[in-house]
């Protein structure tokens, strides 16, 4: 009897909660026209995917989405590491609008304004995330054992209001059984496999499901089956190829012996014209990685990409089996890119294309497959999916609705992409013909200017070339205008 009374109260409370949620920002009875399946990899450079031209690392499952969707060749993140990038595209504001330049969620800054999934939730969609969608420290946020956290319930910098439900995927990370090596800061080879944000390669014993991403794929498959008859917004966050480069041994075999990996060219004097903040925070030199270690880092990264790609395939198979491909928008992307030895740089943070550019594929039912060369930004995803789903536009969002590109991929939606590296006070304006990077709000810490046609790898900084003086002045003014525009918004951030 008492149980039934409690149950009725629970029903009442749930009812009140649903009503309260429906009354929030943006709800007007409109239902999303499509499901959104948002698949995001962590620290994945587009240069590692075969659909973007990599001939060594094969990614058949991501390529299959590209073959049916629109693949963007000039997509850029808004912040070149996890925290600011994810807070930006999930909230719909640039990092310098919210001031979220580190590893927190943007809720205190946006108040009761709806995040991307929350907007869909307010319009009646079931919303869930599996693993890392907002920021979560990797490997610490998913690695069980040793740090005293309950990793089934560790949510990182998540935003609870965004979700109907949320799921974590703990795994062994670098502590997985198998053959492991610490490549970074280990020149004499005496260090064991270490944790943290360190270059470690582990050829793990056993299969996919031991690992966080294997569990994430399995949960995603389960959620697709369970919610196929209702509108959903599902965020599926894979943590690979973020370090540690750990994946089941079978994914490594294509890249062994690692010695056969081909590193980018090493150019004499490459760093001489780069201002100090433009030398990336991780380099072959400061990581003390010799050529053998550099090649193994590349092979280990590619193995992690192959492993992640296989998990993407499981999710896409489930969508097909559920019979809801024709009512689901699929997006595949990463929070930012990654260096694999270009300029002897490694990892993220830099504002060069390999790090600020991202893979982006958008597959919408009924739209023709295409390749689109317009500049687009991850911040565009929120307004674009809202428009595609028939949800009301919100002027406050700082991205653009790029859905017209899906019907006419030859169109352009912006002349430049904008990205930031707050760790270095770095700002990028990437145009068709030029890449302009400045360090400091007034460029007081240096400038890089590259002619991307004559010098696509960016070996020659033209900032001191007298012939480019006017261009540099013009870029400084454009950057100041962009920052002003970003800061003019409806948020009340000090």
Interface contacts to Ca ion, rule CB under 5 A: 42-43, 82, 335
Closer CB to Ca ion, 43 or 203, in the complex: 43
Q: Tell me, rounded to whole angstroms, the distance of Cα 260 from its chain centroid.
A: 29
Going from the C-alpha of 271 to that of each of 102, 157, 192, 351, the distances in angstroms are 27, 36, 32, 15
The nearest distance, CB 82 to Ca ion, in angstroms, is 4
Rank residues 103 and 459 by Cβ distance to Ca ion and give the closer one.
103
Taking the complex as a whole, how short is the minimal distance between the CB of residue 313 and Ca ion, in angstroms?
22
Rg (CA), the chain: 22
Burial class of residue 262 (count of CB atoms within 10 Å of its CB; 0-12, 13-18, 19+)? exposed
CB of 29 to Ca ion, least distance (A): 37
Q: Please report how close the Cβ of residue 249 comes to Ca ion at its closest, in angstroms.
A: 25
- Interaxial angle between packed helices 381-388 and 82-91, expressed in degrees from 0 to 180 and rounded to the nearest 10: 30
Quick one: which of 453, 338, 241, 452 has its CA closest to 47? 338
Specify which residues 371 forms β-bridges with: 71
Nearer to Ca ion, 43 or 184 (CB): 43
> What whole-number distance in Å separates Cα of residue 173 and Cα of residue 211?
7
Q: How many CB atoms lie within 10 A of CB 115?
A: 25
Which residue is closest to Ca ion by CB? 82
Nearest distance, CB of residue 370 and Ca ion, angstroms: 27
How many C-beta atoms lie closer than 10 Å to residue 437's C-beta?
31
The residue assigned the tokens 């994914």 is 251
Q: What helix, strand, coil percent values describe the chain, rounded to 5? A: 35, 20, 45
**Which of 132, 227 has the CB closer to Ca ion?**
132
Pick between residue 110 and residue 239 the one whose CB is nearest to Ca ion: 239
Q: Tell me the H-state helices in 173-277.
A: 212-226
Extended beta strands in 276-425, E state:
328-334, 339-340, 346-347, 360-363, 370-377, 416-421
Does residue 289 contact residue 263 with C-beta atoms inside 8 Å? no
- Which CB atom, from 134 or from 382, has the smaller least distance to Ca ion? 134
Closest CB 242 distance from Ca ion, rounded Å: 6
Do residues 262 and 255 make contact, with C-beta atoms less than 8 angstroms apart? no
Residues 6+ apart with CB under 8 A from 18: none
The torsion region of residue 26 among left (phi > 0), alpha (psi -120 to 50) and beta comes to left
CB of 135 to Ca ion, least distance (A): 8
Cβ closest to Ca ion, residue 355 vs residue 403: 355
> Cβ of residue 415: shortest distance to Ca ion, in angstroms?
27
Give the shortest CB-226-to-Ca ion separation in angstroms.
28
Output 138 or 176, the one with its CB closest to Ca ion: 138
Of the pair 42, 380, the CB lying nearest Ca ion is at 42
């Amino acid at each position: 009897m008492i149980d039934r009374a409690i149950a009725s109260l629970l029903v009442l409370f749930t009812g009140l909660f649903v009503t309260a949620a429906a009354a929030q920002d943006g709800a007007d009875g409109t239902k999303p026209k499509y499901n959104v399946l948002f698949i995001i990899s962590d620290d994945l450079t587009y240069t590692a995917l075969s659909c973007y031209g990599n001939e060594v690392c094969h990614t058949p499952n991501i390529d299959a989405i590209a073959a049916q969707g629109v693949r963007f060749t000039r997509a850029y993140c808004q912040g070149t590491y996890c925290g600011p990038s994810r807070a930006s595209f999930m909230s719909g504001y640039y990092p310098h609008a919210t001031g979220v330049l580190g590893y927190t969620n943007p809720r205190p800054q946006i108040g009761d304004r709806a995040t991307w999934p929350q907007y869909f939730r307010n319009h009646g969609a079931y919303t869930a995330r599996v693993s890392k969608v907002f920021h979560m420290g990797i490997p610490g946020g998913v690695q069980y054992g040793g740090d005293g956290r309950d990793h089934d319930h560790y949510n990182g910098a998540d935003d609870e209001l965004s979700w109907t439900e949320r799921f974590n995927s703990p795994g062994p990370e670098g502590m997985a059984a198998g053959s492991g090596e610490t490549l970074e800061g280990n020149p004499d080879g005496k260090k064991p496999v270490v944790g943290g944000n360190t270059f470690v390669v582990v050829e793990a014993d056993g299969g996919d499901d031991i690992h966080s991403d294997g569990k994430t794929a399995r949960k995603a498959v389960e959620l697709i089956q369970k919610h196929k008859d209702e509108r959903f917004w599902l965020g599926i966050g894979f943590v690979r190829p973020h370090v540690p480069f750990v994946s089941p041994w079978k994914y490594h075999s294509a890249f062994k012996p690692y010695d056969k990996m081909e590193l980018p060219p090493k150019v004499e004097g490459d760093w001489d014209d780069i201002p100090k903040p433009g030398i990336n925070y991780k380099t072959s030199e400061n990581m003390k990685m010799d050529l053998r270690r550099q090649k193994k880092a590349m092979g280990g990264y590619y193995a992690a990409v192959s492993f992640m790609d296989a998990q993407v395939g499981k999710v896409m198979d489930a969508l097909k089996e559920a019979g809801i491909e024709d009512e689901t928008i699929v997006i595949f992307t990463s929070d930012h890119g990654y260096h694999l030895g270009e300029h002897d740089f490694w990892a993220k943070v830099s504002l060069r294309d390999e790090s600020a550019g991202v893979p982006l594929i958008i597959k919408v039912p009924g739209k023709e497959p295409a390749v689109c060369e317009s500049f687009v930004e991850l911040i565009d995803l929120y307004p674009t999916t809202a428009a595609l789903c028939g949800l009301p536009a919100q002027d406050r969002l700082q991205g653009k609705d790029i859905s017209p590109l899906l019907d006419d991929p030859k169109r352009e939606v912006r002349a430049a992409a904008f990205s930031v590296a707050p760790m270095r006070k770095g700002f990028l304006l990437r145009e068709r013909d030029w890449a302009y990077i400045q360090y400091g709000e007034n460029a007081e810490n240096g400038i890089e200017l590259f002619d991307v046609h004559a010098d696509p790898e960016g070996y020659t900084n033209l900032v001191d070339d007298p012939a480019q003086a006017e261009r540099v002045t013009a870029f400084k003014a454009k950057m100041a205008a962009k920052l002003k525009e970003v800061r003019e918004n409806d948020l009340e951030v000090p």
